[in-house]
Amino acid sequence: MNNSSPKPRGTIHSGKRCSGTAAGAETPTEKHHPPNASSRSLTWRKITRPLLTDCGRIALIWMARSAMKSSIASLCLLLLAGPVMLDCGSPSAHDLQSVTISPATADAQNFPGGQVQFTATGIYSTQPSPVTPFSATWGSCHQSTPTNAVSVTSSGLAQCVPGAPGTYTVWAYGPDPAKVNCTAINACGGGCGRITGTASLTCP
């Protein structure tokens, strides 16, 4: 009778452990971790930084061109409005509109010593108006030509020269604010750049 214990089936590896993977077992695979927030931020910066730089340049160019167009338009408007303002004057300014002289007619023989005191009045676009006496430039003429037959002081006092009978024009003028750069004048105080009033003086 054999008392020996039955031997186990299979192969026995003495003192050694099996290495490797058993048949049919799944081979472990490498896990792919999703990119973290830091890596996504770096990638986004790499993409957007050139775009933002280009957009910034485009915006600066657009603003510069817009500012240039606005400046050119303002300059054109100023150039167009300038002549109109110079020609018409400012409606809100205290501009001289007309000049009158009193008396409108006078006979020197009816005044003491033949001296006639004329007074100028200035009519303005705004108050105070009228202004009497108006500070004017005085003179005289005869039939639209200069004359020495009548002398007129800076205050409007006129006197006939003896031996020069006739009817003469006494004039007084103030500057025309709409045409301050114009100097075309005539012998009787009128013309461009002046607002003139006239009166008549008869010398005996």
pLDDT at 56: 63
Question: Is residue 200 within 8 Å of residue 104, measured between CB atoms?
Answer: yes
> Mean pLDDT of residues grouped by 10 in the chain (204 residues)?
49 44 46 56 58 64 70 63 49 85 97 96 95 96 95 97 96 85 83 93 96
- SS3 state of residue 61: helix
**CA–CA gap between residue 68 and residue 72 (Å, rounded):** 6
Tens of pLDDT along 119-160? 999 999 999 999 999 999 999 999 999 999 999 999 999 999
pLDDT at 178: 77
**CA–CA gap between residue 169 and residue 142 (Å, rounded):** 6
Angle at 198 between CA 195 and CA 202, to 5 degrees: 165
pLDDT at 61: 76
Topology adopted by domain 96-203: Immunoglobulin-like (2.60.40)
Domain ranges of the chain: 51-88, 96-203
**CA–CA gap between residue 98 and residue 125 (Å, rounded):** 9
pLDDT at 79: 60
